[in-house]
Structure 1
């Protein structure tokens, strides 16, 4: 699943990313507002592509325990506004159903570091 999820992000298709979420799946990033439903997961991915059009994701580690998965990642690319290079590390904590669709995801990355990199600092 994680190799396919990584490939979906690297396809630059928000629809492909969203296909990994349950119809009523949810993602919350850095304790922000939830994106609930597969269509909202697609909106979330579209937002990342708008901010980082050349986003490339790599899977750094995966840990599984039953229906709980930790997906550790790095994404690289360039900020759409400033053109500055980005190298952002983070992770997602998933609860997956029997069909391996993400029912709940809690994603984390250092937003302050992201802002510094985007500004070229």
Structure 2
């Protein structure tokens, strides 16, 4: 009887510990950031969306948030289509108890006119206890980005 009690107690403790997720440690968070940058560079929008909670959202430069993995994939696809050789690198990752700041640089060739683009920005993340992004507020200098996209011959922006 005593053996069965210990066995049940051990099983309950295992179940409880499986359901309790702790925050990512610094090494895990660093790895997450690097993999996230790789996902942006992958030309696979579903890969990028998989870093988000199912009901997570991504907002870029105060635009309308893309809510849910499908909408996030569509938003990512727009950048991936515009920059087929896009390479996103993680510049730094800064975190506190509630927010993680992911600083990045995007390099790529704009598909419409062949212009080389290099822009830096950041995303402010909130992560859930399972390590998924629930909220991401991204920003970069829109004016600088637009100037780099312009056709260098006639000054027309796309």
TM-score, structure 1 normalization: 0.95
- Are residues 1:112 and 2:143 paired? yes
CA contact (8 A) 1:18 1:38 kept: yes
Unaligned runs of 5+ in 1: none
Larger Rg: 2
Shift of 1:66: 2.4
Q: Shift in Å at residue 52 of structure 1?
A: 1.1
RMSD: 1.1
What is the total number of aligned residue pairs between the two structures? 121
Aligned counterparts of 1:64 and 1:11: Cα–Cα separation in 2: 25
In the alignment, which residue of structure 2 is the partner of 1:61?
A: 92
Deviation at 1:10, TM superposition (A): 2.0
Q: Given the alignment of the two structures, is residue 23 of structure 1 paired with residue 54 of structure 2, yes or no? A: yes
CA distance in 1, matches of 2:74, 2:98: 25
User: 2:4 is matched with which residue?
Assistant: none
1:86 corresponds to 2:150: no
- Identify the structure with the greater helix proportion: 2
* In structure 1, C-alpha distance between the alignment counterparts of 2:84 and 2:142, rounded to whole Å: 18
Q: 1:7 maps to which residue?
A: 38
- TM, length-normalised to structure 2: 0.74
Larger fraction in strand:
1
| Unaligned residue ranges in structure 2 (runs of 5+) | 1-31
Deviations 1:83-112 (A, max 9, x none): 100001000000000111010010001111
**Deviation string for 1:7-57 (max 9, x for gaps)?**
212222111100000000011110011100011110111010111111100
Q: Please say which of residues 20-29 and 1-10 is displaced more in the overlay.
A: 1-10
